[in-house]
Structure 1
């Protein structure tokens, strides 16, 4: 039960991180530069945590003779982050949420069933499938799919995104979600090998910073910090995204070997949706206030039921 509650708590920080990074992007201009700043803050946070809590930095020698995929967590994280940037204008808000979530749930269950990435095995039975369906259904309700359909939430873009191209982007959305679940399993196993979840998260962020730095240099993003038009100042909380991201990656690395990748993904998704509803309902962190509807509340309850089915039965 502790693992489930901790997973929900870890998930709660993600919507806050998203808002913080979105606000940071307005001030620095480039989404890649905002991601680099966020990753750098997270890297420094984890570096300090490793020295204070573990008393040492992770020892790369412990990975000698181990599979190369142990180092892929940071690369997967950057792929997911960058993927969402490209998905939104092509698929719209609803599909950008639902398709990656579907990929996360599917991949999490497959990793558990086959024991990929040395994850603890859990057979894919009717109960786990039912729980997954409840969770995905809850996500549809929590993001207000019915409201979106009534508004006819159209894909933003040109004719080039139609037909086969549109379906290619939809498949990419599922794949990015699968990358996210894979990152959870990889960082969890890296934490086992290194003997510290903090060290695993630090390695992941180190790789992420290196990759993002190459992207920023390659795209020749303009460096600078300003106050967006129509705003008086930059809020202090726009800098905490990296700190929260570090906590999120640490939580994933800690939980995955304990409760399994599938359940880790699902409990964190539950926390993410709950946090999003709270931010929208109260208009926190500069977000436009959007009171919780009955449909969204029922969607969250459906997600709770899905996690409970998998955890208790």
Structure 2
């Protein structure tokens, strides 16, 4: 598949992430406990992930987890912490501001991850144009959040 498909898929995933985080925050508000909402979302997600894994070829790949640096598996804990944080933040500053600021942080982190080719990311150098893009994005985020 060409890169255009993956660009579009990434865009759609971004929209889904925004909806997912807002839904989690809404559940947390409705039950008055963001931690319980976060736990419920992760349990449901884990069950679905296991079903997808069991229904897919390559089930033996789990045996290779022993070869993975255990620190990389902390990504699961990081995911739970970030979804909980977003569930707390959205009711206080809104989904728009939360997602704009979150996306700005993701873009900056993504550029740095690519610059240093971390975690299987292909190396992509930081260019002057990328720096300008980040500056424009930070300015846009400021405007979107404060104006």
Question: TM bucket by the smaller chain?
Answer: 0.7 to 0.9
Q: Does 1:225 align with 2:63?
A: yes
Provide the rounded CA distance (Å) in 2 between the counterparts of 1:261 and 1:310. 12
Provide the rounded CA distance (Å) in 1 between the counterparts of 2:5 and 2:137. 18
CA 1:212 to 1:285, structure 2 compared with 1: closer, same or farther past 3 Å? closer
When structure 1 is superposed on structure 2, of 203-212 and 177-186 the one drifting more is 177-186
Q: CA deviation at 1:280?
A: 2.1
Contact persistence 2:22–2:87 (CA under 8 A): yes
Let me know the Cα RMSD of the aligned residues.
Answer: 2.4
Q: Which residue of structure 2 lines up, in the alignment, with residue 261 of structure 1?
A: 95
Contact persistence 2:34–2:87 (CA under 8 A): yes
Contact persistence 2:100–2:144 (CA under 8 A): no
Q: Deviations over 1:67-89 (max 9, x none)?
A: xxxxxxxxxxxxxxxxxxxxxxx
Q: CA deviation at 1:289?
A: 4.1
Alignment partner for residue 249 of structure 1, among 83, 86, 96? 83
Provide the rounded CA distance (Å) in 2 between the counterparts of 1:99 and 1:219. 21
Alignment partner for residue 197 of structure 1, among 9, 34, 51? 34
Number of equivalent positions = 145
The two structures have a TM-score, normalised by structure 2, of: 0.82
Contact persistence 2:22–2:90 (CA under 8 A): yes
User: Greater RCO between the two (CA within 8 Å, min separation 6)?
Assistant: 1
Q: How does 1:1-313 map to 2 (within 5 A)?
A: 90-92=1-3, 96-97=6-7, 100-101=10-11, 174=12, 176-219=13-56, 221-223=58-60, 224-226=62-64, 234-285=68-119, 287-313=121-147
